[in-house]
Amino acid sequence: METEIDIHRIREILPHRYPFLLVDRVVEVTPGERLRALKNVTANEPFFDGHFPHRPVFPGVLMLESIAQASAILVSLIIDAKASRKNVYLFAGVDKARFKAPVEPGDQLVIDVSLEGQRSSLWRCSGTISVQGKTVCTSDVLFTHRPIE
């Protein structure tokens, strides 16, 4: 089982691509339990032109998406799923989302996710994002992995 996953392997697992791939590296995995990933926030991100040009702030909804993507990597390692035109991960819900501090260009997101449960093809993970040891976002995500019809 992998303990660190680089961007090349992440691209094999997740179908997301620039500008929507929000996980740069996985630095720690406890198989079937938890995962720690990194996202480097740069001033070149396309959404900063409009959010907000005078004071760029990483959108909260993208923090939730980064938790979902890290969670999808964790589940993919369990079910041995790979990016494919034949299947997709879909959000089923977001619970208890909280934003505690803004994220700006130059910050590195440390994304910790834990598997909380699974029922059929529905998975629940809890996530925390921190920057320099300070929590900036927490949320639970529900998602499914299913074939594209």
Tabulate helix, strand, coil % of the chain (nearest 5): 20, 40, 35
Q: Which position among 8, 16, 51, 54 bears the catalytic label?
A: 51
Question: Cα(18)–Cα(27) distance, rounded to whole angstroms?
Answer: 21
Integer CA distances (angstroms), 47 to 9, 14, 105, in order: 25, 21, 11
51 is catalytic: yes
Catalytic residue set: 51
